[in-house]
Amino acid sequence: MAEKTVTKLHREPLFHIVKRDDMVWWKAWGIRAITIVVSIFVMVFISSLLTGKGMIQTFEIMYRGVFGRIETGSFKMLFKYFEEVAILLCLALALTPAFKMKFWNCGAEGQALMGGLGAMVCMIELEGKLPLAVLIPIIAVVSIICGAVWGVIPAIFKAFFDTNETLFTLMMNYIATQIIAYYVYIKGGGSNVIQPVEAGIAPSTGNAHYFINAGIVAVLTLVVYIYLKYSKHGYEISVVGESQNTARYIGINVKKVIIRTMLISGAVCGIAGMLIVSGIDHSIRTASVGGQGFTAIMMAWLGQCNPFITLIMTAIIVFLNTGAGKVADSCHLNSAFADIFVGIVILCVVGCEFFIKYSVKIRGARKGNKE
Amino acid sequence: MTKQPAIELKNITKRFGAKVIANNNVSLTAYHGEVLSILGENGSGKTTLMNMISGIYFPDEGQIFVNGKEAVIASPKDAFGFKIGMIHQHFKLVDVFSAAENIVLGIDGGKYNLKKSTEEIKKISEQYGFDLDPEKKIYSMSVSEKQTVEIIKVLYRGADILILDEPTAVLTPQETAKLFDVLRKMRDDGKCIIIITHKLHEVLSLSDRVSVLRKGEYVGTVNTAETSESELTEMMVGKKIDLNIERSDPKDPQDRLVVKDLDCINRDGVAVLDSISFTARSGEILGIAGIAGSGQRELLEAIAGLQHISQGDILYNDPKSGKTENLRDKTPVQIRDLGVRLSFVPEDRLGMGLVANMDIVDNMMLRSYSKGRSAFLERKAPKDLAMKIIKDLEVVTPGASTPVRRLSGGNVQKVLVGREIAASPTVLMVAYPVRGLDINSSYMIYNLLNEQKEKGVAIIFVGEDLDVLLELCDRIMVIGSGKITGIEDARTVTKEQIGLLMTKTGEEE
Amino acid sequence: MIIQFICRAILLGVPLLFGSVGEIVTEKSGHLNLGIPGVMYVGAISGIIGSFFYEQACGNDIAKMNALLAVLIPLLCAIVGSVIMGLIYSFLTVTLRANQNVTGLALTTFGIGLGNFFGGSLTKLGGGEATFIALTKTSGFFSTKLPFADKLGWFGDIFLSHDFLTYLAIIVAVIVGFVLNRTRVGLNLRAVGESPATADAAGINVTRYKYFATCIGSAIAGLGGLQYVMAYANGVWTNNAFGDRGWMAIALVIFALWKPSVAIVGSFLFGALCNANNYIQGLGTATQELFKMLPYVVTIIVLVVISMRKRREFQPPAHLGLPYFREER
């Protein structure tokens, strides 16, 4: 008898996964918050093992590395942090409408590069020929158009032929990269570097560009939030994302919505590119966006299509990224440690969604108790 | 000879989440060499119960005995080990594979030799009289061919306990007769056949015994030879129900929607609608009867502007202006812009009529959100409408901001019908509006439709329950294989006449 | 000149071949692993770490090194490293049903970070003084040519002169192609990617197939990273030098229409395209940058054409990118 029970226990599924009813929002966010905090602690612990410094000291290095010494009145680091958050957030905001529509735009990198290219071309060709007041709107319009065009090409094929957008947008990134490489080579006179140009939407020196970039993105956050929540377009995006069949049924032109939304998504990426090229670097290279287009995909997803949550997530991740880099630097280890740090934190948050959507019942325990 | 029990279920209970109890304390037995019918209404837990035998679900409580021994069936693989095979209602076949590849899929051991398998498949086909090309790809097969693949798949595995879930739902009468012949042959071979159905005449013509489920509970088992249709119905629905649906005579009927010679070809190039002509009149309910998939969905979608029409006209007579508009090749938006007040309750409520993840208020907006020139949404009116519908139709919900996917089937339908009626339509099309609903909700829907009829709305009602069609509608149009096989007065026609028209196809004319 | 061009194309193509064959195996199980670029980095760095310590253990003296061990240690390390990456990915996406795109991208971030971190810090962590890793000795073992390669002229150069991982790549591709199309395991795997519910109902352990496909796929892809550092880069690690090859491998999967045999030809074609600029007369450096986008352009054209043609045989696995939960209701 006992033997039979043992084999039975073995054969029955030990873990039984059940889909949950909706979890209350505060509980769901509680789980996410705990996951983030715990994973950060674990990673800080690992860092301290690696560097031989204590955990508190590691935290301090991170904090100082990101914010500098604010108490002494030196805000430069803080401003720089805001600017970095702004750029990544801008890219994530661009992706949010597309993700809400369940369109996997993995092409933020390329769309931003093309936007940046648009800005760069204007800056180089028109510098000194037009007053800044005329040049700035031209830069803005051109980079928005460039980004939008790069975003809309996959959307057109998605709308008409249902071409896989994940793969299409991914490929578009590298075409953009090569176009930039080509342009840099031509304009850089074979040196692989374009010398910074003076003209741009913000001066390259001083603190002004921090405020301009962060300000533009702050406004953009609000605009995207309102657009998605209160506009008719936003409503159409949700319907198309949830059910194309319903969209058809109530007479939404699904193709039009897909194309329009990707025009917007690409345009906002274009703005991000413009901020980088014309607001910060005043030059362009293939690494101008530096992989942030991919990080933005994760940020937009972690933000659950809510721009304000995306803002919080972005702020956390940029902090960790910069901070972890500084920790590695402090021990002369490679700053790529930051990627490991951030990668693991994101993987943990992605994994914790499981516990929000499903619950695990351990089976066999019931029978085991009987014995 | 006493028959050996093949499957015994003892006190099986299965829950989904905290609220839904799909099966409660069900016990029943099936023997070798017999056909057992599991009879029950939609949502009575038949399929869930059988899924536990075939290892798709695992019971929360209770035991399963196979051939007299207690068995733990944790996966479909375990089920095969016990020689249990299930043919699901939604075929589980890989589209890009050939029939033979699908049949050998998942079998362990032995050398993988598709040629040899193909020979064996041909042998089984001959033995039971199937007609199948093992090399044909699934995506180019008809529904009945796919079903054949499913059946051979379980036979190939040597199953001697076969479970069929609603096998006739998609078959023509001829195909059904052929299938039943095969099943009888298998029974005579000593196999145990369990067939899930809600069609009484099939139960009576095929099975040896009938087990009835009602709302997840086991009601009882009777020998087919000793029972009658009325007894089974009573077991199924609990008590004998005279439908007693009110029906008034149409007042001042006028031709509202005239459909002329409508042809419609689907993506695969098959004619799904073939010269359909009929008239829907105001103040009257026009019922549409037919076997599932005869073109009902396409017809309603064509009228609503969702299907491409290859030929024919859809003429709408405006009751106010008296003008006639042709709705052909118009999008839903264009139809709305013409001032045509056409409401449509589609078959797929959560996948088409509503957005499952949106709350009731946002679902109310689906029809009306685009009104007005503002770029922004107006949520006040939809919210009032949502509150009104919740109150008037007694929708059970925690609030207007609850996602509709969390409501029960009946409440989902109330929300959908409520919204469509709120648009004060002149034409109202409803497809299977009471499918999966409890009796009370069903009657509420019938009453709503009758109210609309009193208001002079032209109603088109696609239904599956002939009793309901006969008691609710004024005229019944029967559709078979995309053609109209008859339009009858619902007050005089008999159930048998309708049934006969349903099985008539175009070729027999 | 032409012979040199072909050899170079093959050398450049092999990492792509490993990567794409690995990704094909994974995608056939219905999982779009965008973490492949990261996996390839990890494969490369794991191999580097393994041979680094082996070279140190032998006192950096080539005479003390055993050829077999010098090859086997990095090989095993690369496989173990990439399988661990595959395990992380499959645990998250199969067991925890996390979003595949986000998991994959996070894994790529993580993997590239891991590669660059150890690549840049290994000597320091190992207590050495050198600022970069150069494992030319191990690389030497990897690049050993077949016998007679030098004696048979152009034939020897094109067919016999490559490192052994090149031959391994082709063998792996052929085996994977055979397994997918001619064996029961392959049939089951394809069914899992096309319709997991069907496979499940047929008694196939969907979870196990997904895990194995992802991990084996990762192991294969990881070898691509190893081939790059050992044979192409002569054992010298430079941060980010591997570049976008991981993404190009994913592109190659589409180009090859999910068929390993096509991937063999495709990888050499892509290798040639990456390299053509160096061999075509009068092509400036600028135009050469434009040339490098050709593999991606071609891939997009293939992607668009297959979506327009709708031939069922050429479509991606039907359930690609979607999670599977048996009790979905």
What is the predicted pLDDT for the residue at A7? 35
Q: Average the pLDDT over C61-79 and give the result.
A: 87
Cβ proximity of C296 and A177 under 8 Å:
no
Integer-rounded Cα Rg, in Å, for chain C is 20
Inter-chain residue contact C297 with A175, CB threshold 8 Å? yes
Inter-chain residue contact A231 with B365, CB threshold 8 Å? no
Domain residue limits at A255: 89-315
Q: Average the pLDDT over A338-356 and give the result.
A: 92
Q: Which residue has the higher pLDDT, B238 or A30?
A: A30
Question: With bands split at pLDDT 50, 70 and 90, how would you rate the model's confidence at B509?
Answer: very low
User: Measured between alpha carbons, how far is B378 from B365 in angstroms, rounded to an integer?
Assistant: 9
C110 interfacial to chain A (CB closer than 8 Å): yes
Cβ proximity of A367 and A8 under 8 Å:
yes
B508 burial type by CB count under 10 A (0-12 exposed, 13-18 middle, 19+ buried): exposed
Question: With bands split at pLDDT 50, 70 and 90, how would you rate the model's confidence at A9?
Answer: very low
Inter-chain residue contact B366 with A250, CB threshold 8 Å? yes
Any domain includes A178: yes
Residue C329 has pLDDT above 60, yes or no: no
Task: Give me the residue from C199, C202, C312 closest to B96, CB to CB.
Answer: C312
User: Measured between alpha carbons, how far is A100 from A166 in angstroms, rounded to an integer?
Assistant: 15
Inter-chain residue contact C108 with A297, CB threshold 8 Å? no
Q: Write the single-letter amino acid at B398.
A: P
What is the predicted pLDDT for the residue at C282? 66
Q: Average the pLDDT over B242-270 and give the result.
A: 82
Average pLDDT across chain B, whole number: 85
Question: With bands split at pLDDT 50, 70 and 90, how would you rate the model's confidence at B242?
Answer: low
Q: Average the pLDDT over B212-223 and give the result.
A: 87
In the numeric block, which tokens belong to residue A82? Answer: 């805001």
Of B167, B240, B264, B253, residue with least CA distance to B206: B167
In the numeric block, which tokens belong to residue B39? Answer: 């009879």
Q: At what angle are helices C294-309 and A132-161 packed, to 10 degrees?
A: 40
Shortest CA gap A240–chain B (Å): 10
A360 interfacial to chain C (CB closer than 8 Å): no
What are the extents of the domains in chain B?
A: 5-237, 251-341+458-509
Q: What is the pLDDT of residues A313-324, one digit of tens each?
A: 999 999 999 999
CA dihedral of B426, B427, B433, B439, whole degrees rounded to 10: 40
Q: What is the pLDDT of residues A63-107, one digit of tens each?
A: 998 988 888 878 888 999 999 999 999 999 999 999 999 999 999
Cβ proximity of C71 and C142 under 8 Å:
yes
Q: Does one domain contain both A287 and A363?
A: no
Inter-chain residue contact C101 with A177, CB threshold 8 Å? no
Q: Average the pLDDT over A113-135 and give the result.
A: 92
Homologous superfamily of B251-341+458-509 in CATH? P-loop containing nucleotide triphosphate hydrolases (3.40.50.300)
Q: What is the pLDDT of residues A281-300, one digit of tens each?
A: 899 998 899 889 999 999 99
Q: Average the pLDDT over B486-505 and give the result.
A: 78
Shortest CA gap A253–chain B (Å): 9
Residue B16 has pLDDT above 80, yes or no: no
Any domain includes A114: yes
pTM above 0.80, yes or no: yes
What is the predicted pLDDT for the residue at A5? 33
Any domain includes A66: no
Q: What angle do CA A362, A366, A371 make, to 5 degrees?
A: 135
CATH number for domain B5-237, candidates 1.10.3720.10, 3.20.20.70, 1.10.760.10, 3.40.50.300: 3.40.50.300
Residue A364 has pLDDT above 60, yes or no: no
Q: Average the pLDDT over C85-92 and give the result.
A: 95
Residues on B contacting C at a C-beta cutoff of 8 Å:
16, 54, 56-57, 75-77, 79-80, 86, 88, 92-97, 101-102, 104-108, 112, 137, 139, 153
Maximum distance among all Cα pairs of chain A, rounded to whole angstroms: 94
Inter-chain residue contact A343 with C106, CB threshold 8 Å? yes
CB pairs under 8 A between A and C: 172
Q: At what angle are helices C294-309 and C260-275 packed, to 10 degrees?
A: 140
What is the predicted pLDDT for the residue at B2? 67
What is the predicted pLDDT for the residue at A75? 85
Q: Average the pLDDT over C24-51 and give the result.
A: 93
Q: Average the pLDDT over B50-75 and give the result.
A: 88
Chain C CB contacts of B101 under 8 Å are 187
What is the predicted pLDDT for the residue at B367? 85
Residue B2's Cβ-side half-sphere holds a number of Cα atoms within 13 Å equal to 2
Chains touching C by CB (3 or more pairs below 8 Å): A, B
What is the predicted pLDDT for the residue at B195? 93
Q: Average the pLDDT over B56-62 and give the result.
A: 87
Dump strand ranges (E) for B231-358: 255-265, 271-281, 284-289, 311-317, 324-326, 342-345
Residue A367 has pLDDT above 90, yes or no: no
User: Measured between alpha carbons, how far is C231 from C139 in angstroms, rounded to an integer?
Assistant: 6
Q: Which residue has the higher pLDDT, B425 or B170?
A: B425
C194 interfacial to chain B (CB closer than 8 Å): yes
What is the predicted pLDDT for the residue at A346? 93
Average pLDDT across chain A, whole number: 88
Residue C127 has pLDDT above 70, yes or no: no
A346 interfacial to chain C (CB closer than 8 Å): yes
pLDDT above 90 coverage of chain B, percent? 31
Any domain includes A145: yes
Second CATH level (architecture) for the domain C2-314: Orthogonal Bundle (1.10)
Q: Average the pLDDT over C126-135 and give the result.
A: 66
Question: With bands split at pLDDT 50, 70 and 90, how would you rate the model's confidence at B504?
Answer: low
C24 interfacial to chain A (CB closer than 8 Å): no
Q: What is the pLDDT of residues B81-122, one digit of tens each?
A: 899 988 887 888 898 999 999 998 888 766 788 888 899 899
Shortest CA gap A342–chain C (Å): 7
If one counts the domains in chain A, the total is 2
Q: Are strands B161-165 and B192-197 parallel, antiparallel or unpaired?
A: parallel
What are the extents of the domains in chain C?
A: 2-314
Residue whose tokens read 């029960």:
B408
What is the predicted pLDDT for the residue at A371? 30
Q: What is the pLDDT of residues C227-244, one digit of tens each?
A: 998 888 888 888 888 888
Residue B407 has pLDDT above 60, yes or no: yes
> What number is the ipTM of this complex?
0.89
Name, in order, each residue with C-beta under 8 angstroms of C29's C-beta and a sequence gap of 6 or more: C189, C192, C193, C209, C210, C213, C214, C317
What is the predicted pLDDT for the residue at B405? 86
Cβ proximity of B78 and B87 under 8 Å:
no
